[in-house]
Amino acid sequence: MAEGGRQRSFRLHNMSIPARPLESALYLVATPIGNLGDITLRALETLAGADVLACEDTRVTRVLLDRYGIQNRPYAYHEHNAEEAGPRLMQALEAGKSVALVSDAGTPLVSDPGYRLAQSAIEAGYRVVPIPGASAPLAALVGSGLPNAAFLFAGFLPTKDKARRDRLAEFVAVSATLMFFESPHRIAATLAAAADVLGGDRVASVCRELTKTYEEFRRGTLAELAAHYADVDSVKGEIVLVIGPPPERPVEAADVDAILTDLARILPTSKAAAEASRLTGLSKKGLYQRLLDMKGGDGR
């Protein structure tokens, strides 16, 4: 039994499971982004066992706690009260207590003010322990079917059109799949801007209401998606916009020769060909022969 008479346990299928005591630390606990079944056992034990439970919205977190029979009382910590609530949470850590932090949905610190608390805890020398779990960007990425060898999550885009386009322009040459959070009433404007700035032929996916009853992945080029949402009167639900990397452009012969010439000034022939192959994606053997030909066939 916890201090104050609170039972430190959680419930699974009408079975009460005791939560083990937690060491003093700041625990960053991922919670479901929609489906309440997407919670880990470690997260439940942490929510039940923490001395202090901080959350973005107590009403939202209470729904999750009630689902799993957790009696811990949540305290609000969000953008508007961080200046006041943050020091109180730091005092709890100073007193040797365990503090768990959750956002309304998904992984805390991703596009929310929790990073300030984590920074303060780290600077003060306290342990910060991530409790991994649900993540909207990763769910959208794997569900989109777009390349995931390299990806970049950029949070929310600016709301004003010029600022939004300026921000998108920063990603034109990024050879990675891009991910953005977007609100339903701005998705049409964002798709139109993305098609203009990044190119209408870029493949993308609008991932809406992830893990919820009306989950939807709408896939197509940016131009196709922009045209679709321009005709939709009302869009509902939270959205992750995933945009594939720019299509590969063939390297011009003159560009290849320039790259080989520059590399040959500082590297031996074989290494210059290898580096040029890495930069252009062309065959090392072919580039080596090309460099020999440029040098007159003797490699000097």
Please give the DSSP secondary-structure letter assigned to residue 33: S
How many angstroms separate the CA atoms of 37 and 20, rounded? Answer: 22
Q: Are 193 and 187 in contact (CB under 8 A)?
A: no
How many angstroms separate the CA atoms of 10 and 5, rounded? Answer: 15
pTM: 0.79
Position 3 confidence tier, pLDDT thresholds 50, 70, 90: low
4 in a structural domain: no
In this structure, the answer to whether residues 258 and 158 fall within a common structural domain is: no
In this structure, the answer to whether residues 229 and 159 fall within a common structural domain is: yes
In this structure, the answer to whether residues 23 and 63 fall within a common structural domain is: yes
Quick: pLDDT tens for 35-78.
999 999 999 999 999 999 999 999 999 999 999 999 999 999 99
* Residue 1 scores a pLDDT above 50: no
300 in a structural domain: no
DSSP string spanning 146-186? ---SSEEEEEEPPSSHHHHHHHHHTTTT--SEEEEEE-TTT
How many angstroms separate the CA atoms of 295 and 63, rounded? Answer: 73
Quick: pLDDT tens for 198-246.
999 999 999 999 999 999 999 999 999 999 999 998 999 999 999 999 9
In this structure, the answer to whether residues 177 and 68 fall within a common structural domain is: no
How many angstroms separate the CA atoms of 134 and 146, rounded? Answer: 19
In terms of residue numbers, what domain contains 154? 137-243
How many angstroms separate the CA atoms of 51 and 253, rounded? Answer: 66
Mean pLDDT of 111-129: 91
| Buried-exposed string 250-272: b where 16+ CB fall within 10 A, e elsewhere | eeeeeebeebbeebbeeeebeeb
